[in-house]
Amino acid sequence: MSVKLPKKEFDLLLDNTKQKGLLLHSKFKEHTSTAIIAAFSFLIALAWRDLVTKLVENYVKPSTLINHPYLSELISALIITAFSVAAIIFVSKWAGKEN
pLDDT digits (tens, 9 = 90+) for 30-59: 888 888 888 888 888 888 888 888 888 888
pTM: 0.52
| Residue pair 84/95 in contact by the 8 Å Cβ criterion | no
> What's the rounded Cα separation, in Å, for the pair 34 and 30?
6
Residue 78 sits at φ, ψ, to 5 deg, of -65, -45
Whether 2 maps to a domain, the answer reads: no
> What's the rounded Cα separation, in Å, for the pair 69 and 75?
11
Predicted local confidence at residue 99, as pLDDT:
47
Whether 1 maps to a domain, the answer reads: no
* 62-70 mean pLDDT: 82
Enumerate residues 6+ apart whose C-beta is below 8 A from 73.
53
* 22-30 mean pLDDT: 84
Predicted local confidence at residue 68, as pLDDT:
85
CB count in 10 Å sphere of residue 28: 10
How many domains are there within the chain? Answer: 1
| Residue pair 66/54 in contact by the 8 Å Cβ criterion | no
Q: Which domain holds residue 32?
A: 7-95
> What's the rounded Cα separation, in Å, for the pair 4 and 85?
59
